[in-house]
Structure 1
């Protein structure tokens, strides 16, 4: 009789324990799926910010050390595009050919946001995460902003300009 009573107590206990074991495994799988999506979206945003920084450096000569400068550049500045017409002969330099009228250079200005995110770049982006220029500096799934810094590093007696845009792991989740 005692064996039946113990069995009646252990059967529901086993069912409850089985549920908790399954739930703990399932929640880990769900977390890993969500983590993969969040990490991928952050990687894409960081690539977008890298694209803006490289175009900013090309236009200004240095990397931006704050998001206000990057945002202002993206929304208000223009980038010069030089159109070369003609070919320079091998016997002349570009300056000489330009003075002789053999070649010509025409400079046009295009809005930065049209040049930064050109068709070639947009084709290489992860299409699962649409480009949102207004929220480019905001970390997905939170209201926090990435941290940014720029400076110079001496590498092999050469000064190299560098930048860092980052966040901590906990902010992503």
Structure 2
């Protein structure tokens, strides 16, 4: 709407100038001046059009690349959670993750809530009970049974080989590395594993308008990706959230 109004206003101004020329300039000079004015009008309209369309084209290209980058990080998150489930910590390299997905297995287990005789409590109260525990204390427990295994690949990435490219974001001819770091933090004297993965915005948006890219790196908006990196996880907090809004992908 702003673009249409700007072009209309430009054309109206040009039309007004042409009318003034027809009224005050000598007949021989009118055609040349009119052509120059119309050329200047069209050039000005083009500049207005470009000033409006440039950020629109930037946002379209940016959003395409961000969606691919976020999908890569979500795949990485899925792989790291699977690795931690089996190994108790996060993988500190992409090679470990690929090997784990190719060769690892998850246990298939069943859980059943039940009630059993609380022998310890019965002894503490000097209670003698029969085989059924009648006259004594009982406690709730969960019985866990392993009934089989399933491959990690089939469980997490069945039908896709995307996990082999977790180390970089590939968009057309562009390839941008994913920086992966792992560590531990302590919460109430408990050692907890953490990891952080980042993608540099400048590398991901290379080739786009540099002025708009500089603005993108400084953006502060809950509906945008703040800062100069796309980030998943943290090395100082126990979190697996990313710094992107949900329109680019799940973030929970």
Normalised by the length of structure 1, the TM-score is: 0.74
CA distance change for structure 1 residues 92 and 105 in 2, over 3 Å: closer, same or farther? farther
1:51 aligns with 2:51: no
Q: Is the 8 A contact 1:140 1:172 kept in 2?
A: no
User: Which residues of 2 match residues 114-153 of structure 1 at below 5 A?
Assistant: 114-117=154-157, 132-141=162-171, 142-153=174-185
User: Which residues of 2 match residues 18-167 of structure 1 at below 5 A?
Assistant: 18-84=45-111, 87-91=113-117, 105-117=145-157, 132-141=162-171, 142-167=174-199
- TM-fit CA distance, 1:107: 4.2
Normalised by the length of structure 2, the TM-score is: 0.53
1:125 maps to which residue? Answer: none
Q: Which protein is bigger by CA-based radius of gyration?
A: 2
- TM-fit CA distance, 1:72: 0.8
Which structure has the higher relative contact order (CA within 8 Å, separation 6+)? 1
Gaps of 5+ in 1: 94-102, 119-129
- TM-fit CA distance, 1:149: 0.8
CA distance change for structure 1 residues 104 and 35 in 2, over 3 Å: closer, same or farther? closer
Gaps of 5+ in 2: 1-25, 120-142, 206-252
Instruction: Tell me the alpha carbon deviations over residues 52-90 of structure 1, each in whole angstroms, 9 at most, x when there is no partner.
Output: 101100101110111000111111211222234x65325
- TM-fit CA distance, 1:8: 2.5
Q: Is the 8 A contact 1:82 1:105 kept in 2?
A: yes
Q: Number of aligned residue pairs: give it.
A: 153
Matched residue SS, 2:65: helix
Taking only aligned residues, the RMSD between alpha carbons, in angstroms, comes to 2.8
2:19 maps to which residue? Answer: none
